[in-house]
């Protein structure tokens, strides 16, 4: 692959790379009429919202809640109490503790990308409720928008922690909202080298070729441990993919982000799964911080968190011998991420060879397209550019139509490529010794 520097590093997943000081729930206790909590956020997509997601903490006495989308007072930053539409609310009774709910609105409500709205949780008609709502996930307070609020005891309070609410559209998608978590549960698993499983961490893939230059993770490290980076086979640790972490080399105790560079950066292949796991090397517990998402039925709320379902939790006990030794949990996300310092170049091959599987669909390009005169055009390459000619090796075909694919049994032959010289897979003036497939 051809990689170019990105002049620094890209951190993936995005805002989860910010300086979290821990993953813990910030709750609002509601036990009186008129009390409420919620968030102010920006609508990410034009469409119709069908559900709002929220999560309970402790429920001492259940009471029916009303969940709504309200307009926002720009002078105060508070919800106005006015619904964005008459149908923009739903109710939830029979509340259980520590449970995520996706509440259907009275009818789907149209919204426009960029609208500023407030999901609000309050009592529908207070009777005797005494319960807690997880309004946000605690961190070091790094953003001013979106934000969360509560109104308890006749006092408004605002917080800059990531809101813990979600919205679902009528197409069934729980849509990502920047710096917002879709009603997650914060976990802090702890383990040592003697526990089962002894390796816990992140399974991930990215949709582009790139180079991995480092790792970041939110962990509590009172004892030594290793980071292990496993190749796509699930059994091989990538060369120089074991990073030792010394508990004595820390600025302070407690949960803090740790950043480690790789002495030998690793080239990652797009759409290929790799693993980054923590492996304690002593009998003292370490902690990894994890987000746990409860999906709404078949819908994947994890897709509303940076990285989507392709970044999820993985565990194994002992050194793996087969891929099947690993267990994946697609609804959990460890706070581990990757540092990328090179991405694949998108330059068209004016002077280089066309690669396997590359699609070209650009407008008229100045200059001469240097198709590979001394290298075979590889299987499955498609050409869909404006008229170009050049000399290169083709599998027994002098003149071929755009979009023609060549099978594995092709033979080599030097000819001239002429766009749209023939139709479909019919060969003009020469037979093929291989397989020619028309698009």
pLDDT by position in tens, the chain (length 439): 578 776 566 777 766 655 455 566 789 999 999 999 999 999 999 999 999 999 999 999 999 999 999 999 999 999 999 999 999 999 999 999 999 999 999 999 999 999 999 999 999 999 999 999 999 887 545 568 899 999 999 999 998 888 999 999 999 889 888 888 888 888 889 999 999 999 999 999 999 999 999 998 888 889 999 999 999 999 999 998 999 998 887 776 777 778 889 999 999 999 999 999 999 999 999 999 888 888 766 678 888 888 888 999 999 999 999 999 999 999 999 989 899 999 887 554 433 344 444 444 444 433 334 443 333 444 334 444 444 433 334 444 444 444 444 444 444 433 344 433 444 444 333 334 333 344 3
Write down the pTM of the prediction.
0.74
- pLDDT on residue 304: 85
Backbone phi, then psi, for 310, in 5-degree steps? -80, 0
Cα-based distances in Å from 98 to 153, 180, 183, 185, 294: 23, 19, 11, 8, 11
pLDDT at 186: 81
| Range 24-183 classified under CATH 3.30.565 | no
Query: Where exactly are the structural domains of the chain?
Result: 3-16+188-343, 24-183, 347-439
Beta strands in 124-255 (DSSP E): 130-137, 147-152, 155-159, 166-169, 184-187, 190-191, 199-204, 210-220, 225-230, 237-245
Place of tokens 């029979």: 94
Domains 3-16+188-343 and 24-183 share a fold: yes
Could you count the other beta carbons within 10 Å of the beta carbon of residue 98?
13
Q: What was the pLDDT predicted at 18?
A: 55
User: How many angstroms separate the CA atoms of 132 and 134, rounded?
Assistant: 7
CA dihedral 15, 303, 286, 211 (to 10 degrees): -70
Give residue for tokens 């087969």.
322
pLDDT computed for residue 399 by the predictor: 42
CATH code given to domain 3-16+188-343: 2.60.120
Q: What is the CA radius of gyration of the chain?
A: 27
Query: Are the beta carbons of 227 and 200 closer than 8 angstroms?
Result: no
State how far the Cα of 274 lies from the Cα of 342, in Å rounded to an integer.
17
The pLDDT score that the predictor gives to residue 427 is 39
């Amino acid at each position: 692959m051809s990689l170019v520097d990105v002049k620094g590093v890209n951190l993936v997943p995005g805002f989860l790379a910010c300086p979290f000081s821990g993953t813990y729930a910030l709750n609002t206790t509601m036990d009186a009429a008129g009390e409420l909590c919620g968030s102010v956020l920006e609508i990410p997509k034009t469409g119709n919202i069908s559900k709002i997601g929220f999560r309970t903490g402790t429920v001492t006495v259940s009471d029916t809640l009303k969940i709504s989308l309200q307009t926002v007072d720009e002078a105060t930053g508070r919800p106005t109490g006015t619904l964005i539409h008459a149908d923009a609310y739903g109710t939830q009774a029979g509340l259980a503790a520590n449970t995520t709910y996706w509440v259907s609105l009275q009818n789907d409500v149209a919204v426009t990308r960029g609208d500023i709205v407030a999901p609000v949780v309050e009592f529908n008609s207070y009777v005797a409720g005494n319960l807690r709502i997880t309004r946000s996930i605690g961190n070091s307070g790094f953003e001013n928008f979106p934000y969360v609020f509560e109104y308890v005891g006749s006092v408004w309070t605002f917080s800059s922690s990531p809101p813990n609410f979600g919205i679902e559209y009528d197409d069934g998608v729980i849509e990502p909202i920047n710096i917002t978590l879709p009603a997650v549960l914060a976990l802090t698993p702890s383990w040592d080298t003697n526990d089962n499983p002894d390796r816990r961490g992140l399974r991930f893939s990215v949709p582009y070729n790139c180079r991995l230059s480092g790792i970041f993770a939110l962990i509590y490290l009172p004892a030594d441990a290793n980071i292990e980076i496993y190749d796509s086979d699930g059994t091989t640790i990538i060369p120089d993919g074991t990073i030792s972490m010394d508990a004595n080399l820390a600025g302070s105790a407690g949960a803090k982000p740790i950043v480690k560079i790789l002495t030998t950066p690793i080239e990652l292949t797009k759409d290929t799964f790799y693993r980054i796991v923590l492996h304690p090397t002593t009998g003292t517990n370490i902690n990894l911080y994890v987000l746990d998402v409860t999906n709404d039925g078949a819908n994947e709320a994890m897709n509303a968190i940076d990285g989507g379902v392709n970044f999820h939790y993985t565990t194994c006990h002992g050194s793996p011998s087969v891929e099947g030794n690993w267990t994946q949990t697609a609804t959990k996300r460890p706070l581990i991420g990757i540092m990328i310092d090179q991405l694949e170049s998108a330059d068209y091959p004016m002077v280089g060879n066309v690669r396997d599987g590359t699609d070209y669909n650009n407008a008229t390009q100045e200059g001469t397209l240097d198709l590979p005169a001394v290298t075979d055009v590889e299987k499955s390459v498609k050409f869909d550019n404006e008229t170009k000619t050049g000399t290169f090796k083709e599998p027994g075909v002098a003149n071929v139509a755009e979009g023609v694919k060549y099978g594995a049994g092709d033979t080599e032959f030097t000819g001239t490529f002429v766009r749209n010289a023939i139709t479909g897979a019919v060969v003009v003036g020469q037979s093929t010794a291989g397989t020619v497939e028309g698009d």
